[in-house]
Amino acid sequence: MKGSTLWYLQRFSSVLILVYVTYITYFILGFEQISYITWMQFVETYLFKISTSLTFLIILTHSYIGLWTVGTDYLTSRTLGFLSMNLSEIANSSRLIYNVFFSGMGIILYIYLLVLVWI
C-alpha cells in the first residue's frame, strides 16, 4: 500500500470519528435530562446502529495504521538492538506477536460491539 493511501486513511478516519463524536455530543446536549427511555429510543435507531458500527470500523482502521507504525518503529532488530542483542534477535517474532495481538483484540472488540448494538 502506498504511503499516500495510508496518510489519507488516517486523516479522513479522524474527521469521520469527529463527526460521530459531534453527533453523540449533540444528542446528549440536546436533552436537559436523559432518561433510560430516551437513551434506549436513541440507541434503537438505525442511524445510531449503523453509524456506531461504521465508526468503530473506522477507529479500528485508524488504530491499525497507528499501531503498525509504532511497531515498525520500535519493534525492529535495530531499535531493540539499542537495548540488547538478545532482544534484537527476537525483534521480528515480537513484532509478529504484537501485530497478531492488536489485530485479534480489534476483531474481538468489534464482534462484541456488533452484538451489543444489534442484538
Q: List contacts with other proteins (CB under 8 A).
A: 1-4, 6-8, 72-74, 76, 78-79
Nearest distance, CB of residue 97 and other proteins, angstroms: 19
Nearest distance, CB of residue 90 and other proteins, angstroms: 17
Residue closer to other proteins by CB (options 65, 117) is 65
DSSP-derived 3-state class of residue 44: coil
Neighbours of 78 (CB within 10 A): 8
Sign of torsion over alpha carbons 85, 90, 91, 92: positive
Neighbours of 20 (CB within 10 A): 16
Residue closer to other proteins by CB (options 24, 81) is 81
